[in-house]
Chains A and B, each alone.
Chain A
Amino acid sequence: MHFFLVYLVSGIVAGAIYAVTASGLVVTYNTSGVFNFAHGAIGMMAAFAYWALRVPLGWPMIPSVVVVVFVAAPLAGALIERGLIRHLFGAPVASTIGVTLGLMLALVGVATILWNPGDYRAIPTFFSPTKDVSIFGVSVLYNQLVILAAAASVAVGLRLVFYKLRAGVAMRSVVDDPELLALTGASPRRTAQRGWMIGCSLAAAAGVLLATQVTLNITTLTLLVVSAYAAAIFGRLRSVPLTFVGALVLGEIYSFSQSTYIPQWFINDTQLDKTAPMIVLFIALLFLPQGRLRTAGQVPAMRMPVASLRTSVVGGVVLMAGALVISAFLSQSNLLYASEGVALAIVMLSLVLLTGYAGQISGCQLAFAGLGAFAMGKVLGGASPLGLVAAFVLAAAAGALVALPAIRLQGLYLALATLAFGAAMDYAFFESPNSFGYGGSLLVGRARFFGNNFASNRSFLVLVAAIFAVCSIAVLAIRRSRFGRRLVALNDSPAACVTLGIGIGRTKLIVFALSAGLAGLGGALYGGVSGQVSAGDFPVLLSLTLLLLATVWGIRSTSGVLLAGFAFVLLPLIPHVSSLIYLATGLGAITISRNPEGILGETITRISVLTTRLAGRNQPQNPIAFEAVSNSTEAAPAGHRAPIEPAVTIEPAVTIEPAVTIEPRAPGA
């Protein structure tokens, strides 16, 4: 009984921290309509800033808290809203996910540069670490009391703000109907800005509170907040009270998942304390009632034409020839870097299918790649092409398994569910001693083809390039096929798909499995580069990096992801800034998320505009003329209504009717 109470109290404390951060997430989402994936990273930055003030600078506690939580964080929130979020109004969900994920990576990048991840840092607790009070025989530290008090004051404070202040009432209504809110005289922008200030402040508060409980670690702090996402989902991203309930439930799950009630070996093998919140998040998402089918395009409509079979085959041949020639001039280590880049490009090809074409956002592709490498290593140590088949099959099966429950999720919720799956895989599979052995690694060989075992790094690069070429040609062939058209249709308008008789679920399931299989294949080859893989090779943060990197370079094109692969291996080669990859990718994603074609598409568009201009031709205003339009005196400019209105309409032209009528309504009122 005593131990039960101890776990109960520690669960309440964990829940209190979750509640503070999750309610911040709910506030930002409700006031701006943007789910802040960077919420955890903001908390992480705050925790490090607090440490920097307290330990190296030796500031006392109270001024440090005031500066971090009540000055710096709200200021950062206001700036983020002004600089990034405001421009996302009306943007597709994919863009908002890209921008906030980019912000998260950029913050992780900044933190890595400022604070060397190798150093040990701990923050002094509030009050002495030994001061405690006894409640029902359970010793509760003063520090824990501070955390509980903070959560309680957040609860009371938010309640007061939302229900007593005019500005708070506006905050509650802004997402539901920003136009209506504008009519009342409140500004949706100012309301969103206030929401972000409060949200960031709460993220910072949670970061500071959390930092007194754990040693400071950039990744852990950034991702621990993913657990808090589950609490926010409990409140359906709307209700702060329900979020608090969810946070407490999660805190207890977290606490009891490391209790003596569960066999120690199971906790060790699966890191249950870290995995459980992810599983809860995944399950909570499944039970979230889904809104109506999205009707506007998720990933904005594509602009670049699809390469024909001929073009893609020529491209593949050029790539292989290039690999043959260039590889002759590369050092052994550069050959390995190049192979790694191309192998990761194969992993990102899976995102072309899944995200670029079908508009489904996955935050766990690297987990599939890791499964592929695992299968490759387990089948004859990777010496056989059968290993590549096994890699594809195992990863595809895992992909289908994730997709099966996640099929009904759209947009943001799918991104969250895959993120939860990726994180859970990290802790429960890749870091488990059963997979790679305690802190060990798994040997992954290079497949033997045509009697060649590709032992030389040069021949291996050519092999990987050839497989990339074949996979690209296949991906493009899929895009041109009936199934490919259906994928694009699914992205452009799910509502139209179902009213044409296209089963969305089956299409999603197949594309998920195919894409995961492709990622698995890439992972198997990735393992062959260094000949081994280990637990830390497939972190979920890297999954997100690959997702954003592909987005930055052009997630809809096979050449785009090849460039992304090279960028991934080239960036760390720049001296003195080893962790530039997070910062650069993050900033890139923030900048370019509005253009779905990425750098590649942007460049091609610019060049074609330039060549058109050089050729002295004007851009055709309206290249298409509907035959009846061409009969009329003037063709309507694209995207606008035809200038000539129907002669007589029986529609009341001026009255704006409400979309649905309220039942008791006096006629003519």
Chain B
Amino acid sequence: MTENQRGGPVLTVEGVGLRYGGLVALRGVDMTVHRGHVDGLIGPNGAGKTSLFNVITGLTRPTEGQVFLEGHDITRHSPTRRARLGIARTFQRLELFSSLTVRENVQVAEEAPRGVGRRGAQSAEALVTEQLERTGLISVASARVDTLPTGTARIVELARALATEPRVLLLDEPASGLDPQETMALARVVESLAAEGLAVLLVEHDVDLVMRTCSTLTVLDRGRVIASGAPDAVQKMAIVQEAYLGSVADDANGNGDGTDAPAESAASNEAGR
């Protein structure tokens, strides 16, 4: 990846809408993910973040709008075909191969078919080991994933996605379940991926992580983009504060602790739809 390609659009979403009968999950969403950058996507639970991920990866077909990968319209492509073209993702509600070991999970991804010219020169073994080392999983490589704590399991999803050598990486709340130290380690990994030229789209609730890693921020609320731009600017916008119903202030007062559970159950509802 040469330096002059950095910053160019890799993945573009244009006017994407998604309806289930009378229910609107997404409406007129425009968004761009850039090569060599981490672009952030935030919004309250139920805003449509995971729905947008499903549209981009092809698990859900949008009722309107298009998705482009490097200028090619992939809206009608199957999820498998998109993955082979270089889109990889993690899941908010874990989708690991729970009866396989950590290494096997990454192996399955490495062995999956890919588009022409998308396989690097590295041997399979080396690539798998590299991903395990990079994500700090090498010490648990032979553990079965259903024995891991949730936070660690999320990192396995990251390593698995990386093993497909993607061009675009979609991360759905990768830091939830991680402690601050683990989150910092994750931030370093994500930054280094972007530095290598990968385009990363990050959905995350951890403000520090978002502010530190993202070069742009898009805010989704009730299926619409209500703000986008540089993270500092977006964070200060009144409309964004409003969308969060003043919860930033609540958190500052220390009310955020222990009340995470209901918010999370709503989030898992979203994934279940």
Contacts and interface: CB of A to CB of B under 8 A. Distances in A.
Given A624-B147, A651-B263, A653-B247, A645 B257 contact: yes
A644 B24 contact: no
A481 to B, nearest CB: 10
A303, A499, A623, A644 — most chain B CB neighbours (10 Å): A499
A422 to B, nearest CB: 28
Interface stretch (B7-15, B102-110, B193-201): B102-110
Given A629-B149, A642-B149, A663-B22, A493 B95 contact: yes
B24 A654 contact: no
B172 to A, nearest CB: 11
A495 B95 contact: yes
Contacts of B87: 499
B115 to A, nearest CB: 8
Given A498-B80, A641-B177, A659 B97 contact: no
A321 interface: no
A624 B145 CA distance: 10
Contacts of B109: 500
Interface stretch (A235-243, A310-318, A379-387, A630-638): A630-638
Contact of B46 (A297, A623, A628, A657): A657
Given A651-B247, A661-B46, A661-B223, A485 B98 contact: no
A647 B208 contact: yes
A502 B113 contact: yes
B140 A624 contact: yes
B48 A488 contact: no
Contact of B111 (A482, A491, A641): A482
A653 B260 contact: yes
Contact of A656 (B114, B137, B148, B265): B265
Nearest to A632: B179
Given A492-B96, A660-B25, A660-B48, A649 B207 contact: yes
A51 B181 CA distance: 73
Nearest to B149: A636
Interface residues of A, number: 64
Contacts of B137: 626
A649 B179 contact: no
A636 to B, nearest CB: 4
A659 B108 CA distance: 32
B233 interface: no
A502 B80 contact: yes
Contacts of B182: 626, 628-629, 642
B218 interface: no
Contacts of B51: 660
A272 to B, nearest CB: 39
A488 B99 contact: yes
B205 A488 contact: no
A639 interface: yes
Given A499-B57, A500-B160, A648-B208, A492 B136 contact: no
A491 B98 CA distance: 10
Interface string B260-273: 10110110011111
Given A488-B99, A639-B150, A626 B140 contact: yes
Interface in B25-49: 25, 42, 44-48
A646 B95 contact: no
Contact of A659 (B42, B155, B263, B269): B269
B42, B80, B83 — most chain A CB neighbours (10 Å): B80
A485, A486, A489, A655 — most chain B CB neighbours (10 Å): A489
B200 to A, nearest CB: 16
A337 to B, nearest CB: 35
A290 B118 CA distance: 32
Contacts of A57: none
Contacts of B260: 645, 649, 651, 653
B48 A646 contact: no
Contacts, number: 257
Contacts of B271: 295
B258 to A, nearest CB: 8
Interface in B159-197: 160-161, 164, 175-183, 185
Contact of B93 (A295, A301, A657): A295
A137 interface: no
Interface string B122-144: 00000000000000110110010
B251 interface: yes
A627 interface: yes
Interface residues of B, number: 95
Given A651-B263, A656-B263, A644 B113 contact: no
B164 A642 contact: no
Interface in A463-509: 482, 485-486, 488-489, 491-493, 495-496, 498-504
A502 B176 CA distance: 27
Given A626-B155, A660-B23, A663-B24, A301 B98 contact: yes
Contacts of A660: 20, 23-25, 46, 48, 51, 223, 270, 273
A297, A491, A502 — most chain B CB neighbours (10 Å): A502
A657 B88 CA distance: 27
A267 interface: no
B147 A657 contact: no
Interface string A603-644: 000000000000000000011111111011001111111111
Nearest to B60: A292
A498 B59 contact: yes
B237 interface: no
B148 A658 contact: no
B152 A485 contact: no
A489 B99 CA distance: 8
Given A649-B256, A655-B245, A628 B42 contact: no
B20, B111, B273 — most chain A CB neighbours (10 Å): B111
A67 interface: no
Contact of A489 (B81, B83, B108, B146): B108
Contact of B100 (A303, A485, A661): A485
B6 interface: no
A522 to B, nearest CB: 26
A645 B264 CA distance: 13
B134 to A, nearest CB: 12
B97, B148, B161 — most chain A CB neighbours (10 Å): B97
23 contacts: A295-B93, A295-B271, A482-B107, A491-B99, A492-B98, A498-B58, A499-B58, A499-B83, A500-B160, A501-B84, A501-B113, A623-B143, A624-B152, A628-B136, A628-B178, A642-B177, A646-B176, A647-B180, A649-B205, A650-B247, A653-B260, A660-B24, A660-B46
Interface of B: 20, 22-25, 42, 44-48, 51, 57-60, 78-81, 83-84, 87-89, 91, 93, 95-100, 104, 107-109, 111-114, 136-137, 139-140, 143, 146-152, 155, 160-161, 164, 175-183, 185, 205-209, 222-223, 244-245, 247-248, 250-252, 255-257, 259-260, 262-263, 265-266, 269-273
Given A499-B57, A660-B46, 11 more contacts: A489-B97, A498-B59, A499-B59, A500-B160, A628-B178, A640-B149, A645-B256, A648-B207, A651-B44, A652-B245, A657-B45
Identify the 7 closest CB pairs spanning chains A and B, nearest first: A657-B46, A501-B83, A652-B247, A302-B99, A496-B95, A628-B182, A626-B152
